[in-house]
Each structure stands twice: as structure tokens, then as C-alpha cells.
């Protein structure tokens, strides 16, 4: 019985000792990045050396790292062949995660791309969003599959960003009629009244991270129109009282700063046709001493309900500057003073 055909990566690695040939020099230039920045990123991450010779890249290093580097180079080149750009975030994602199956492009620019094989992509008006870690991928899949999902972990792990991306995609594809984003304005406390302007002016600084995320996915004029027409709402948690949120994608950000009563109030707003995402970081509670966090209570009380998804992130899932992960790890390693 003849042996099965090896994959292209296996063939190139075995036949040429880690030398990979790329037929299109223009795409190879984009693959290497400005001043070979993408190659440098791969070298530092995997501990290999990559040398360019014409339209070939020679990868030198120990076999496991060499094989990984060849796989990453092939994946990035395939991305360029499909007409997509390669940015530092794309290199980071391929380094963090294993091989993917290809995803067919959506028929129009507004459709949410469901997971196919091992890849998950979210399409918005301005960009495609792809998880960079296994935990992020599982989180996005849970947003597809569950009406109520929690994302819990440190800053910089994409909890809110990915939730807003999924919400925008579901809105654009007609799966929900509106997007509602909320945060507790607990940082303001009694100082809220000292800020200039009306209530919107006082509260908006605390909502700014939500505006920033939306601005990444929707053109400015469209975003402004949708907010004016109340199809996108950004409001403090207290403004949710008494409402029933139907046919909406609802995100509660910074949920560790909600009290137990506020969390119960918010969770019971869930209406027909809606999805709700709760995000928070248990290490950044700003509530007054002695006040229990509603996020911790929700974990304890709701963990055994099958239709509710809990997704957890660690410093390994931080996708901001590498120093952010190091800072988080340093604080986690140092027990708080008693």
C-alpha cells in the first residue's frame, strides 16, 4: 500500500533542510514585513534564524522550532495569497496557535463567519477579527453558541474587544436589532457631580473604551448615526434597571465592579432573541471595602447552569504589549499584603 502524501510543509522541510521557496516575490516582500520585522518576530519567538536568499527563506534551528517556523511562514504566505494583509498581530496569532483549516470568504462583507475547521473569524464593516490564542478562540465560539457567556481574566486579553466584534457582526447580519454596551461607573463615585457638562458628558469618559472598540469595527459616520438612532446604546449599568432587553446583543464590561444586586438586576434583563456577555477582571475590583463583587457571586451561583458559558483567560492570553503580560505575571506572583 503506497504511503500517504506528505503535507507541503513536511515536503519542504525534509527536502531542503528548512529552506522554503515562495514563487511570488511581491508577496514575499509583504511576508517579510518592513525591514524584515515579521521575520524578526518569528526568530525571537521561536529561537531560529531566517536568512533570505532571492525568493527563498532558509530557516535554521532545532527541528521542532524549525518546523514551527516553516509552518508559520506557509500560513502567512497563504494569507497573502488569499488577498489579506499580514500585520504584526497576524504573525503573533500564527505563532501562538497551531495549524488552521482554510475559511471560505463570506459572500458579502457583512456576514458573520462561523467557525470552520480550526479557524474562527469575525467580519465587521472595517476589518476581520481573528482570535490569537486558544482561549480567545474558545471564548468566541462560546459567544456563537450560548445566549449568556462570561469572559473572566486580566486586562489585555481581548474579552471586551472580541465581544463587541461579535455583537457588531450579529447586528450587521440581522441576527440582533441593536447593540447595548454597559459598564458600572463605579470609579466616579461621589465625584461624578464635579465633572463639567450634562449627565452624558459626565459618564462618557468611563464609557470611552467601549466607544474605542466600536470605532475599530464601524465607520465613524455610521457609528454616530446608529448611536443617534438608538440602535447602539452605551450607558452606565444603573440605566439598565426596569428594562427588558429583547433582540439585542448586550455586553456588561468591568463586571467585577458591579455589586451583587446590580449583577442580578442586569442578568434578569435578558429578553427573547438576545445574547448577553459579561466581562471582568477579578484582580481589579474598585468597589468599597466590604462590598461583594457581583461577578464573584455570579460565578459561584451560576457555574452549574448548563446553558451559561464561563471562559477564563490568563497572562498567556494577553495580546497587548509583551510587557503587559510580564507585569500581570509579576503581580500574580506577589501575594497581597495582609
Q: Where are the beta strands (DSSP E) in the chain?
A: 19-21, 49-53, 56-60, 122-123, 128-129, 148-152, 178-183, 232-236, 248-252, 275-280, 308-312
Residue 117, pLDDT above cutoff 60 = no
Pick the closest to residue 148 from 239, 282, 279 (CA basis). 279
Residue 304, pLDDT above cutoff 70 = yes
Top CATH class of 8-96 equals: alpha beta
Residue 92's pLDDT is: 84
| Residue ranges covered by each domain of the chain | 8-96, 122-333
Pairwise pLDDT comparison (272 vs 188), residue with the higher score: 272
User: How many C-beta atoms lie closer than 10 Å to residue 163's C-beta?
Assistant: 27
Tell me: the pLDDT tens digits for 161-188? 999 999 999 999 999 999 999 998 765 4
How much is the average pLDDT of 287-310?
92
Beta bridge partners of 279: 151
Rounded Cα gap, residues 101 and 78, in angstroms: 11
Residue 112's pLDDT is: 38
- Is residue 58 within 8 A of residue 18, CB to CB? The reply is yes
- Is residue 19 within 8 A of residue 58, CB to CB? The reply is yes
Confidence tier at 244 by pLDDT (50, 70, 90): confident
Q: Which three cell numbers stand for residue 166?
A: 461579535
Pick from 236-240, 267-271, 317-321: least confident = 317-321
Q: Which of 14-23, 92-101, 187-196, 248-257 has the highest mean pLDDT?
A: 248-257
CATH of the domain spanning 122-333, picked from 2.40.50.140, 1.20.120.80, 3.40.50.300, 3.50.50.60: 3.40.50.300
The pTM (predicted TM-score) of the whole model is 0.75
Tell me: the pLDDT tens digits for 147-166? 999 999 998 899 999 999 99
Amino acid at each position: 500500500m503506497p504511503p500517504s502524501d506528505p503535507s507541503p510543509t513536511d515536503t519542504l522541510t525534509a527536502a531542503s533542510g528548512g529552506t522554503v521557496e515562495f514563487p511570488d516575490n511581491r508577496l514575499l516582500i509583504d511576508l517579510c514585513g518592513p525591514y524584515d520585522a515579521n521575520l524578526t518576530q518569528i526568530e525571537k519567538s521561536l529561537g531560529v534564524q531566517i536568512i533570505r536568499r532571492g525568493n527563498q527563506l532558509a530557516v535554521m534551528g532545532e527541528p521542532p522550532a524549525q518546523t514551527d517556523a516553516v509552518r508559520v511562514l506557509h500560513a502567512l504566505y497563504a494569507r497573502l495569497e488569499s488577498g489579506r494583509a499580514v500585520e504584526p498581530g497576524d504573525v503573533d496569532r500564527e505563532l501562538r496557535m497551531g495549524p488552521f483549516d482554510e475559511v471560505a470568504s463570506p459572500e458579502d462583507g457583512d456576514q458573520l463567519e462561523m467557525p470552520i475547521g480550526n479557524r474562527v473569524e469575525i467580519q465587521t464593516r472595517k476589518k476581520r477579527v481573528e482570535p490569537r490564542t486558544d482561549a480567545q478562540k474558545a471564548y468566541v465560539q462560546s459567544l456563537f453558541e450560548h445566549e449568556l457567556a462570561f469572559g473572566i481574566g486580566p486586562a489585555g486579553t481581548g474579552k471586551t474587544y472580541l465581544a463587541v466584534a461579535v455583537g457588531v457582526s450579529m447586528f450587521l447580519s440581522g441576527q440582533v436589532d441593536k447593540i447595548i454596551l454597559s459598564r458600572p461607573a463605579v470609579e466616579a463615585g461621589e465625584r461624578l457631580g464635579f465633572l463639567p457638562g450634562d449627565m452624558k458628558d459626565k459618564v462618557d469618559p468611563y464609557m470611552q473604551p467601549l466607544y474605542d472598540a466600536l470605532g475599530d469595527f464601524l465607520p465613524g459616520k455610521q457609528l454616530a448615526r446608529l448611536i443617534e438612532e438608538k440602535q447602539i446604546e452605551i450607558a452606565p449599568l444603573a440605566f439598565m434597571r426596569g428594562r427588558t432587553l429583547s433582540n439585542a446583543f448586550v455586553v456588561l464590561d468591568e463586571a467585577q465592579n458591579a455589586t451583587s444586586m446590580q449583577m442580578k438586576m442586569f442578568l434578569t434583563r435578558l429578553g427573547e432573541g438576545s445574547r448577553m456577555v459579561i466581562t471582568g477582571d477579578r484582580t481589579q475590583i474598585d468597589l468599597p471595602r466590604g462590598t461583594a463583587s457581583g461577578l464573584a457571586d455570579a460565578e459561584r451561583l451560576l457555574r452549574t447552569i448548563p446553558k451559561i458559558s464561563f471562559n477564563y483567560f490568563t497572562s498567556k492570553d494577553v495580546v497587548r504589549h509583551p510587557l503587559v503580560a510580564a507585569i500581570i505575571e509579576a503581580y500574580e506572583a506577589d501575594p497581597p499584603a495582609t
